[in-house]
Structure 1
């Protein structure tokens, strides 16, 4: 489902997807026909995605998406890396490396739903085609959103070509392996809706899901993937190359 979520946030001009879930309607009284879209992730509108046969929406299947709104990471390898762009006058502007420091990076990574900053480098993900942000962030590092940070006018034009800041955040610390004797072995759990919940998958998808979990935890290659009992959890489906479990599709709650 990650491709569809990316397209929805892009079409609404709301930055990167931060979270997704399934559940009942947020606004009661709405209903209708469901058309399941199949997106690659690079489409500009959900209408450009493929569609399956329409059906009647069951309350369990409404999709909820949270987008970052004010900041995004673009042209990176996944949701947690890319060129930093901020919303400015209804358009997106790249940020100059000279106006961006570690505290700012900590807030951006938190804002887009990722872990701590891993690397910060100008020009790593290109320059972008839009304008350059003309202010300097003064984050303290503890803010939840970039919009919570103070800003100041840039005193000197120190932004040189090729210095649009590129940021790589670590993957979110929302997956763990339990009951296996080490952090790299055990049953898969993901922190979801305020609690740790077990993760289940179909037999044919176990190896792909295991590869993604091992990659996210920095545990190397998969040694074995065994079926287990899933309670108070949800199902996921991965294709294998995803960098974190949240980039995989999510199926019904269990």
Structure 2
């Protein structure tokens, strides 16, 4: 996504990200804008996982020529799964097994994928020349990708304190400071198994990357994966998000 300066002034709408993340429609989130900078979007929608518990699990389907096809388990391996999980913005594959998420409902993908594991999209992979017209019942690919985000706090006195960084799409970046409170920080501390937030604030850090991840508080509080909430953002200042967690759980339950 990038900005493009318009040559001729025209009425524009500004869409507030927090509003969109809250589940409102684009029309409800629109306000007049006079900056004359528009956003050009390219959406990649070639794979999906259905009937799972999240975006990162389900029966695999591939889109080609505006139609969706299931994939046979025999035509799919671990390297193919690594590419799919990467394309969806999830962690590495943890389970690859047919019949986990229902029977084949869509037409069957006709060729075997031959990914090297390094590709950014499944349709970038080579495929076999042989064609398949059917898939045995219960043999459609079921895939579960890891949902664990790579999150860390750096520059503090311990692993439970410092600048919040997120690894998304293979890249570590600091998280842009915004209006987060202890409520949002509590999600991060819990995720890191670091107890509860002791302090939340901003830090001026000239050494930080000029490109950060911006995370909507509404998306974070919905308990979505941080990677699914991340938007690339260019810093206009050196202010980044800083947090100190207690380093231990607030409560302990002992059974005798």
Query: CA, structure 1 residues 249+101, in 2 after alignment: closer, same or farther (shift >3 Å)?
Result: closer
1:33 and 2:9 aligned: no
What is the match of residue 229 of structure 1? 202
Counterpart contact for 2:57–2:143, Cα < 8 Å? yes
Pick the aligned partner of 1:54 from 31, 53, 74: 31
TM-score normalised by structure 1 residue count: 0.66
* Further displaced range: 187-196 or 159-168: 187-196
Pick the aligned partner of 1:119 from 95, 102, 105: 95
TM-score normalised by structure 2 residue count: 0.66
Matched residue SS, 1:73:
strand
Q: How many residues align?
A: 223
Q: For 1:50 and 1:225, how far apart are their aligned partners in 2? A: 39
Query: CA, structure 1 residues 244+228, in 2 after alignment: closer, same or farther (shift >3 Å)?
Result: same
Gaps of 5+ in 2: 205-209, 237-256
Matches within 5 A, 1:1-20: none
> 1:85, CA displacement in angstroms?
1.4
Superposed CA offset, 1:156-206 (max 9, x none): 7773223322222234866432124554543212358976234324244x4
Q: For 2:230 and 2:78, how far apart are their aligned partners in 1? A: 32
Structure with larger Rg: 2
1:197 and 2:174 aligned: yes
Query: CA, structure 1 residues 51+197, in 2 after alignment: closer, same or farther (shift >3 Å)?
Result: same
> 1:67, CA displacement in angstroms?
3.1
What is the match of residue 24 of structure 1? 3
Q: For 2:197 and 2:176, how far apart are their aligned partners in 1? A: 16
Q: For 2:79 and 2:34, how far apart are their aligned partners in 1? A: 44
Q: For 2:110 and 2:179, how far apart are their aligned partners in 1? A: 50
Query: CA, structure 1 residues 139+234, in 2 after alignment: closer, same or farther (shift >3 Å)?
Result: closer
Matched residue SS, 2:97:
strand
Q: For 1:207 and 1:130, how far apart are their aligned partners in 2? A: 43
Query: CA, structure 1 residues 128+52, in 2 after alignment: closer, same or farther (shift >3 Å)?
Result: farther
Query: CA, structure 1 residues 202+73, in 2 after alignment: closer, same or farther (shift >3 Å)?
Result: same
Pick the aligned partner of 2:139 from 159, 163, 172: 163
> 1:66, CA displacement in angstroms?
4.7
Q: For 1:169 and 1:184, how far apart are their aligned partners in 2? A: 26
Indicate the RMSD between aligned Cα atoms, in angstroms.
3.9
What is the match of residue 118 of structure 2? 142
Counterpart contact for 1:210–1:225, Cα < 8 Å? no
Q: For 2:151 and 2:20, how far apart are their aligned partners in 1? A: 26
What is the match of residue 69 of structure 2? 93
